[in-house]
Amino acid sequence: MTRPFRFAVNLLRPAPAAEWRAKCRRAEELGYDVILVPDHLGMVAPFPALVAAAEATARPRLGTLVLNAGFWNPALLAREVATTDALTGGRLELGLGTGYVPAEHEAAGLPFGSPRERVDHLAHTVEEVNRLLGSGEFRPRPAQPRIPLLVGANGDRMLRLAAAHADVVAFTGARPGAEPGSLLPLSAAELDERVARYHGFAAGRAQPAELNLLIQLVAVTDDPGAALERLLRDRRSRLTADDASALPTVLAGPTEELAARVRGLRERFGFSYLTVLEEHMEAFAAVMEQLRKESA
């Protein structure tokens, strides 16, 4: 059975109250199903930002993409999650990851840890938060009987953890680069292998997880080469426009072509849940409208 699409926008830029609420309302007007926030120093604080988003909107779900587990004590995180779910009327979806930027941990005075240590801490966090929220004695109580869990994953241990616990598995379409905190994009073939690896770990699941992909670049244009060169230059990327156009996480071209590419992401990889970055919120809305028109 083919899952219906869900579309999310990841809001990165801090803003005063009126501006924050206005862009959340705009995301709802454009038809986004989920409003997400990250967990990086210098960006919005996740939980108050989501409560404010809930006050400004009625329909979208609200989530984190993704919380850096290394920033959080599991008991304190469970309190934040339960409170936020209650204050948002049961619209919360909890996204968790290991964190990948050493400089943020240094700035926060927190250990970064080896890859194994970070995955171990995330696994402990998932188990403890599930245990606490699943206990009838835990206070405060969330609004939802069970808060959906998204796990951001790429490596084998993370994919195995996601297969065991996650309702949504989020693929960044990237792997760690040589520079600390950097990411390198995965080719379509490399992403095929990662998704297949996840399915191998999840073979015994009764209910398949929803698969999410974070789209890095969106350009609705009749001249995709020029748009990609400009976007890549702005991001100081070493990729060429030709290299970028072949990546699953890059969408550049006319609206109808991009809608076809999005359908292809679902058909080839199983990605029915796509997230775009805040800077591409308006551009991707045209693609969502085209897809919904085609399915009407």
96: CATH: 3.20.20.30
Tell me which residue has tokens 């951001």: 152
- Which two structure tokens, joined as six digits, stand for 10? 């990841």
| Spatial distance between the Cα atoms of 147 and 196, rounded to a whole number of angstroms | 26
For 136-173, give one letter per residue: b (16+ CB within 10 A) or e: eeeeeebebeebebbbbbbeebbbbbbbebbbbbbbbb
Alpha helices (H) in the chain, listed in sequence order:
17-30, 46-56, 74-87, 102-108, 115-134, 156-165, 188-201, 224-234, 241-245, 255-269, 281-295
Q: Please tell me the predicted confidence (pLDDT) of residue 121.
A: 97
How many structural domains compose the chain?
1
| Spatial distance between the Cα atoms of 284 and 219, rounded to a whole number of angstroms | 8
- Which two structure tokens, joined as six digits, stand for 94? 């909890």
Whether 237 is covered by a domain: the verdict is no
Whether 242 is covered by a domain: the verdict is no
Check if the beta carbon of residue 46 is closer than 8 Å to that of residue 67.
yes
**What is the DSSP code (8-state) at residue 285?**
H
Whether 88 is covered by a domain: the verdict is yes
Whether 61 is covered by a domain: the verdict is yes
Whether 261 is covered by a domain: the verdict is yes
Per-residue pLDDT of the chain (296 residues; tens, 9 = 90+): 789 999 999 999 999 999 999 999 999 999 999 999 999 999 999 999 999 999 999 999 999 999 999 999 999 999 999 999 999 999 999 999 999 999 999 999 999 999 999 999 999 999 999 999 999 999 999 999 999 999 999 999 999 999 999 999 999 898 877 677 778 889 999 999 999 999 999 999 999 999 999 999 999 999 998 888 877 777 667 778 888 889 999 999 999 999 999 999 999 999 999 999 999 999 999 999 999 999 87
Whether 269 is covered by a domain: the verdict is yes
Segments forming the whole domain that contains residue 126: 6-215+255-278
Whether 294 is covered by a domain: the verdict is no
Single pTM value for the model: 0.96
